[in-house]
Amino acid sequence: MAKPTLRRALSLPLLTLYGLGVTVGAGIYVLIGATAAKAGIYAPVSFLVAAAVVVFTALSYAEFSTRYPLSAGEAAYVDAGFARKHLSLLIGILVMMSGVVSTAVVSIGAAEYASRFLTAPSFVLLICVVAAISGLAIWGIFESVLLAGFITLVEISGLLLVLFVGWTNISMDPGRLPDLIPPFDSSVWAGIASGALLAFFAFIGFEDMANVAEEVKNPRKTLPRAILLTLILSTILYLAVVMVVVANVPLDQLITSAAPLSYLFSGETAFLYAPFGIIAILATLNGGLIQIIMASRVLYGLAAQGHLPSVLSSVNAVTRTPVLATIIVGSVSLGLALWFPIEELAAFTSLMVLVVFFTVNLSLIRVKLTRQTRQAQQDIFVIPLWVPILGAVAAVGLAVTRLI
């Protein structure tokens, strides 16, 4: 009997919704407050800096994903450039751990939003959140991503609601907008740079699409388009939402909350508090679901490539998902969520991903400078050499802000 394999079920719309689900749900619903604690009212600029860092690496992933459309894609990318199994394993583990820690971050946010409606202890809410998203990830890739895609549309509608309410308030006092432009002051820009490291977490997600490549229809054509669409759409949403939130919510309230967007619904818009709270819970659950899917596929991919014990590459014959890998990822995420604060987890995730981005960009530089570039493969998405060079430099630059 043939060994069960992953199912190719993801089209461009589903894959783009998958990417948007993890970026939008994981970042904007949870980390505006933490970013504002560093950058103050200039948090939108921090998000813009983070987007500028991400764009070069996104293009590098777009090319690599067409060269090597595999689960645990980053490990395969690094192996192609450096041919060092230990380095490939390290990068694969970092990617998996970024997904694990991201799941913990988003689970904390989901539990925080849920606590506005439920009186259960926070640890009970966290356990329920992680158990729910782990079960959905085990259910099946088509079913879980289809559900995630639907929830993504719901969470985007929540952000549009935030924009409507927030912009209505700003339009009553347009004099607030110029206050969001930072002065040429070194201390202000140091805060913006530090905030950009946390804002960077909000863009983590486009690279997750590379790790479900074995479940994508026509991956060489679909993956680059989905990666770029995800980045463009999420950047537009982020900048608009962060601008209206910092212009409307007092900083002392914003910087202390893991559920920051809920503060926008008070006074005349208080009747929207409950509907938005439900949307926010779904959004954060969605981000956790997609991160668990990604991390479990990396664990599966590393085992399938021979880096880890083969039992981790087992696929359930009924669900066609890596059940054991998913359970491990969910369990570790729960432990982190119970023991560490959200800001530390987000910053740690960002640093891990920046190390991965730096290494992937270096690997693409090496690949493009070898004979592999001269191979006649017309179905490869090709970018200029200067793109991964800038991607590597930008990743190092943002990581250094941790020392500021």
Per-residue pLDDT tens over the stretch 266-304: 666 777 778 888 888 887 787 788 788 878 887 887 788
Q: State the Cα–Cα distance between residues 305 and 222, nearest whole angstrom.
A: 23
Per-residue pLDDT tens over the stretch 329-345: 889 999 888 888 877 78
Write down the mean pLDDT value for the chain: 80
DSSP three-state, residue 389: helix
* Count of other CB atoms within 10 angstroms of residue 85: 14
- Residue 139 CB burial class (10 angstroms; 0-12, 13-18, ≥19): middle
Per-residue pLDDT tens over the stretch 66-80: 888 776 667 778 888
- Residue 72 CB burial class (10 angstroms; 0-12, 13-18, ≥19): buried
Contact 10, 290 (CB under 8 A): no
The pLDDT of residue 389 is 95
- Give the mean pLDDT of 343-352: 80
Confirm or reject CATH 1.10.357.10 for domain 12-373, answering yes or no: no
* Count of other CB atoms within 10 angstroms of residue 266: 14
Contact 362, 155 (CB under 8 A): no
If you search the block for the tokens 């493009």, which residue do you land on? 368
Q: Which residues of 16-49 are buried (b: 16+ CB within 10 A; e: fewer)?
A: bbbbbbbbbbbbbbbbbbbbbbbbbbbbbbbbbb
User: How does DSSP assign 300-313, residue by residue?
Assistant: HHHHHTTSS-GGGG
- Give the mean pLDDT of 197-218: 76
Residue 233 pLDDT > 80: yes
Give the confidence band of 404 by pLDDT, cuts at 50, 70, 90: low
The pLDDT of residue 393 is 94
User: How does DSSP assign 71-87, residue by residue?
Assistant: SSHHHHHHHHHH--HHH
Q: pLDDT over 70 for what percent of the chain?
A: 87
DSSP three-state, residue 255: coil
Q: Quote the DSSP letter at residue 373.
A: G
Q: State the Cα–Cα distance between residues 28 and 33, nearest whole angstrom.
A: 9
**Residues with Cβ within 8 Å of residue 218, at least 6 apart in sequence:** none
- For residue 158, report the phi and psi dihedrals to the nearest 5 degrees: -65, -40
Q: State the Cα–Cα distance between residues 227 and 209, nearest whole angstrom.
A: 7
Residue 172 pLDDT > 50: no
Per-residue pLDDT tens over the stretch 69-124: 776 667 778 888 888 878 878 887 888 888 888 888 888 888 888 887 888 888 89
Contact 323, 296 (CB under 8 A): no
Q: Quote the DSSP letter at residue 27.
A: I
Whole-angstrom CA distances from 316 to 143, 294, 333 are 15, 17, 22
Residue 204 pLDDT > 70: yes
Q: State the Cα–Cα distance between residues 282 and 155, nearest whole angstrom.
A: 7
- Greater pLDDT, 4 or 312: 312
Contact 338, 123 (CB under 8 A): yes
Q: State the Cα–Cα distance between residues 33 and 284, nearest whole angstrom.
A: 15
Residue 309 pLDDT > 70: yes
Whole-angstrom CA distances from 360 to 154, 199, 262, 290 are 33, 21, 37, 22
Q: Which residues of 150-161 are buried (b: 16+ CB within 10 A; e: fewer)?
A: ebbeebbebbeb
Strand partners, 216: 10
Choose among 239, 302, 311: nearest CA to 52: 239
Contact 135, 214 (CB under 8 A): no
The pLDDT of residue 385 is 92
CA 61 to chain centroid, in Å, comes to: 14
Give the confidence band of 178 by pLDDT, cuts at 50, 70, 90: low
- Greater pLDDT, 383 or 155: 383
- Give the mean pLDDT of 312-338: 86
User: Rg of the chain over CA atoms, in angstroms?
Assistant: 20
CA 288 to chain centroid, in Å, comes to: 9
Choose among 200, 193, 170, 155: nearest CA to 18: 155
- For residue 59, report the phi and psi dihedrals to the nearest 5 degrees: -65, -35
Choose among 336, 298, 281: nearest CA to 105: 336
The pLDDT of residue 365 is 93
